[in-house]
Amino acid sequence: MAEPTTHEAHAADFPEIREAVRALCARFPGAYWRARDRERAYPEDFVRTLTEAGYLAALIPEDYGGSGLPLAAAAAILEEIHSSGGNGAACHAQMYTMGTILRHGSEAQKRRWLPEIAAGELRLQAFGVTEPGSGTDTLSLATTARREGEHYVVHGQKVWTSRAEHSDLMLLLARTTPRAEVRRKGEGLSVFLVDLREATAGEAPPVVIRPIRTMINHATTEVFIDGLEVPADNLIGEEGQGFRYILDGMNAERILIAAECIGDARWFIDTARAYAAERQVFGRPIGQNQGIQFPIARAYAETEAADLMVKRAAALFDAGEPCGAEANMAKLLAADASWAAAEACLQTHGGYGFAEEYDVERKFRETRLYQVAPVSTNLILAYLAEHVLGLPRSY
Ligand SMILES: Cc1cc2nc3c(=O)[nH]c(=O)nc-3n(C[C@H](O)[C@H](O)[C@H](O)COP(=O)(O)OP(=O)(O)OC[C@H]3O[C@@H](n4cnc5c(N)ncnc54)[C@H](O)[C@@H]3O)c2cc1C
């Protein structure tokens, strides 16, 4: 009997969900992702299939049409997508962006949006926070929203707004009170739900979306906003408190993306060990050489350790406990583990690691993103230094 793969051996939590997601992913093999990657095309069939199976509504409570699962289950879903060789980045945002509506929206807003999102009739995949002039320094964002009667009028520009072309709705962070007029710099920002279908329609629409071609297939864009009218009913929570709401969702985002990194790491480790066992050079398998074994074994150990932190962070989140430090550490350690596994896998494959048909170079490019987004490694270290270790703020 064949040895279990590393992800099979660690599928103790949510085994049925994991098995079902793996079966779904088997319908979207490497050739499917390679073709989308080559054309920089959105994996529409995959996203539709995942939506119809209810996985993107995993975290929406049953009262609003979802399955009301814990974050740990959502993490298992994304991990399985990635350990199967796929990429959840095409749609993962919906899992955490809807949390802002769920936790901070009014009952009327939840009833209006969540059931349609859960049913797959509406997509909430776009999250407009980053701007060209702000980047890591979110609080310096310059997009403004000014109240005029029953509307807010929005002007500004977002960048790296992923999936905006494939989303009906966008969660938008904008400044409603000038920075000079607020007591604390985290105040004065507000969150809106923007209907992109209306906003981009017509000959001179107030919102224009331009794709950015990147080294990975990520459907990311620039969004130009000029005089967009957003109904006041689409303001989530209280005006001026939006940054707090966004921060609140970031722990979920970090834990889920960390789970994707664990999935990537397991894919790289399994792919590397299979190739190392099979490839013969000097009349013996290359996996017999410690120079090949050790980087794979080290990446394995790092992945297992990171996975424990992902699980701990998810358990704290699900228990409603503070989990900022754990969510950040999970993201840091899992992204480092997937990058170490990617490097070991590519090196194990020698020249063939560069050939498209092995998927290694695609996954290598994809997992590199997580050193930078949604929060860079440096900023996590700065968070830990300041908030956990009590060192002076460095920025
Ligand atoms: C493919 C992709 C998809 C994305 N999707 C989205 C999305 O859907 N929505 C969204 O809002 N954003 C998205 N982002 C944006 C992402 O969150 C930012 O790229 C990230 O936060 C870093 O911001 P920046 O690119 O402006 O880098 P910068 O802020 O310019 O930073 C550049 C480098 O300097 C480092 N640095 C900056 N300040 C410090 C400091 N004080 N100490 C130490 N190092 C520092 C950073 O760590 C980074 O390595 C996406 C980005 C990419 C590449």
Among 306, 330, 305, CA closest to 317: 330
Residue 59: per-residue pLDDT: 97
Out of 372, 391, 393, 395, give the residue to mutate to test ligand 1, the one with the largest number of ligand atoms within 8 Å of its CB.
Answer: 372
The residue nearest atom 23 of ligand 1, judged by CA position, is 135
pLDDT of 272 above 60 = yes
Out of 92, 125, 160, give the residue to mutate to test ligand 1, the one with the largest number of ligand atoms within 8 Å of its CB.
Answer: 160
Q: How far apart are CA 136 and CA 168, in angstroms?
A: 26
Q: Which residues line ligand 1 (CB under 6 A)?
A: 127-130, 135-136, 160-162, 214, 218, 220, 369, 372-376, 378-379, 382, 394-395
Q: How far, in Å, is the centroid of ligand 1 from the Cα of 250?
A: 14
Ligand 1 atom nearest to CA at 137: 29
Among 87, 97, 84, 82, CA closest to 42: 87
The residue nearest atom 19 of ligand 1, judged by CA position, is 373
pLDDT of 361 above 50 = yes
Q: What amino acid is encoded at 98 in this protein?
A: M
For range 205-223, the mean pLDDT? 98
Residue 5: per-residue pLDDT: 58
Average of per-residue pLDDT values in the chain: 96
**Confidence band for 344, pLDDT divided at 50, 70 and 90:** very high
Ligand 1 atom nearest to CA at 129: 11
Cβ atoms of residues 306 and 326 within 8 Å:
no
Q: How far apart are CA 254 and CA 243, in angstroms?
A: 16
Ligand 1 atom nearest to CA at 93: 8
| pLDDT (tens digit per residue) in 141-200 | 999 999 999 999 999 999 999 999 999 999 999 999 999 999 998 999 999 999 999 999
Residue 248: per-residue pLDDT: 83
Residue 52: per-residue pLDDT: 96
Residue 386: per-residue pLDDT: 98
| pLDDT (tens digit per residue) in 6-56 | 555 555 799 999 999 999 999 999 999 999 999 999 999 999 999 999 999
pLDDT of 3 above 70 = no
Residue 382: per-residue pLDDT: 98
What is the percent of the chain where pLDDT is above 70? Answer: 97
Residue 1: per-residue pLDDT: 42
Which pTM value belongs to this model? Answer: 0.96
Residue 11: per-residue pLDDT: 57
pLDDT of 359 above 90 = yes
